[in-house]
């Protein structure tokens, strides 16, 4: 079993988009997936309620308070709320195998994320190499100056960057239907699937490293 925590204290950074699509990816590969929603707005669970029965099954979990990992799940994806800090953050990081930090290309997002990354660096499980962290740009238009600034920030971070996801209408359309990018015919989303490849590749390699360390 592996647990992925999607976290950034900045609201609107793309956490739910990342969490639901990751859950959709692993479910489409036949894995037993639990989507845990720590946010009181329940955006991830509402997405799951809209999910058609014919799509690959994803189990939902109300993760408010202290969530419990599902021992039978192959992958547990945790959508965390804005402002996750203190003991709740430390516990969530400790329980996670991976932490993915999504962020948008704005000065406000960069400022908030910079402080958050400093907090993550102090977490014991991360310092000890038991929990792996990566960063990903969300709703990025690579032609803009803001995107360039974001890339410079990501490159200077102590955590690896796993690319950018563009601001495509397909994400909004899929979310309305309780679907993920990986539930759509690949020929219709080929460009976006290519952008997901670095993140998925990172997860596979990081999992192999953890297996060697025996976490």
Strand order in the sheet with 2-6: 59-62, 33-37, 75-79, 2-6, 98-103, 132-138, 161-165
**Separation of alpha carbons 135 and 202, rounded Å:** 11
**Separation of alpha carbons 123 and 193, rounded Å:** 32
What are the structural domains of the chain? 2-213 (3.40.50.300)
Lowest mean pLDDT segment, chosen from 43-47, 127-131, 192-196, 203-207:
203-207
pLDDT tens digits along 121-146: 999 999 988 899 999 999 998 889 98
pLDDT value of residue 71: 55
Do 4 and 73 meet the contact criterion of CB atoms below 8 Å apart? Answer: no
Euclidean distance between the first and the last CA atom of the chain, given in angstroms as a whole number? 11
Phi and psi at residue 15, to the nearest 5°: -60, -50
Model confidence, pTM? 0.92
**Separation of alpha carbons 156 and 129, rounded Å:** 20
Q: Which residues of 119-137 are buried (b: 16+ CB within 10 A; e: fewer)?
A: bbeebebbeeebbbbbbbb
pLDDT tens digits along 47-87: 999 999 999 999 999 877 555 555 588 999 999 998 888 88
Map residue 150 onto helix, strand or coil.
helix
Map residue 76 onto helix, strand or coil.
strand
Helices (H), 10-106: 15-28, 43-49, 86-95
């Amino acid at each position: 079993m592996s647990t992925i925590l999607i976290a950034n204290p900045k609201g609107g950074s793309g956490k739910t988009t990342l969490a639901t699509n990751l859950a959709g990816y692993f479910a489409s590969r036949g894995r037993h997936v639990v989507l845990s929603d720590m946010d009181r707005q329940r955006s991830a669970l509402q997405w799951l309620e809209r999910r058609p029965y014919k799509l690959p099954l994803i189990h939902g979990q109300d993760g408010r308070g202290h969530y419990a990992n599902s021992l039978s799940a192959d992958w547990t994806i945790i959508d965390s709320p804005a402002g996750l800090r203190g003991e709740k953050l430390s516990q969530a990081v400790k329980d996670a195998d991976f932490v993915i930090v999504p962020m948008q290309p704005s000065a406000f997002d960069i400022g908030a994320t910079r402080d958050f990354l400093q907090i993550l660096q102090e977490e014991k499980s991360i310092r000890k190499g038991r929990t792996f962290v990566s960063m990903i740009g969300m709703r990025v238009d690579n032609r803009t100056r803001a995107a360039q600034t974001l890339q410079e920030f990501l490159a200077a971070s102590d955590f690896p960057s796993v690319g950018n996801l563009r601001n495509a209408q397909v994400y909004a359309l899929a979310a309305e239907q309780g679907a993920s990018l990986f539930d759509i015919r690949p020929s219709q989303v080929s460009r976006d699937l290519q952008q997901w490849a670095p993140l998925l590749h990172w997860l596979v390699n990081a999992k192999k490293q953890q297996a060697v360390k025996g976490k």
